[in-house]
Amino acid sequence: MYFFLLRVLHRITMRRIYYRFPQRVDLSFAMGMPFLETLNYIADLDRQETTKTTGTELVKVKTTVAIAVDRATFGDITRDILRPGVITEAADLQVSVLALALRGGGKVPIANDIFYLRLTDRGTRTDIDIAKEGGAPGLDALDLKNILLGTSK
């Protein structure tokens, strides 16, 4: 009976959680939008390219977003996944950010960072936890928050 209830509850709460999500979180903040709206907003950043000027350099930033598939891997975000009721309660995302400086006739990599995001449904708002993979210099969690909010330095 206990296992049956667990299976029923698992079907009701369709969470997309990555079991190796880092224990240490670099930044936590709340997005003022409901869970599904926030998930769609971040999914729209997938394969997005922006160009900005930092100091005297022109920098191209490419963003890729993937969602936890089976607790062990990440996969593409499809429109089927983003339908209402498919994902509820929580979702883990992997965001890859590649920054290239456009110098002379070529592109020079500045940063190639991977971040993990945990989105948690809180009704009218969504809590977001950000953890960076590895400790290499480059972008940090605050930079990713600025990318998510559409602001830049």
pLDDT tens digit sequence for 58-89? 989 899 999 998 888 999 988 888 888 888 88
**Does position 3 have pLDDT exceeding 60, yes or no?**
no
Q: Tell me the pTM.
A: 0.82
3-state secondary structure of 143: helix
- Residue 117's Cβ-side half-sphere holds a number of Cα atoms within 13 Å equal to 29
pLDDT tens digit sequence for 90-125? 999 999 999 898 888 888 888 899 999 999 999 999
Q: Give the number of other CB atoms < 10 A from CB of residue 63.
A: 19
Return the domain boundaries, the chain.
2-149
CA atoms of 83 and 150, how far apart (whole Å): 24
CA atoms of 149 and 137, how far apart (whole Å): 22
Q: Are 109 and 14 in contact (CB under 8 A)?
A: no
Residue whose structure tokens are 């883990």: 92
Q: Which residue has the higher pLDDT, 47 or 110?
A: 47
Quote the percentage of the chain above a pLDDT of 90: 44
**What is the chain's alpha carbon radius of gyration, rounded to the nearest angstrom?**
17
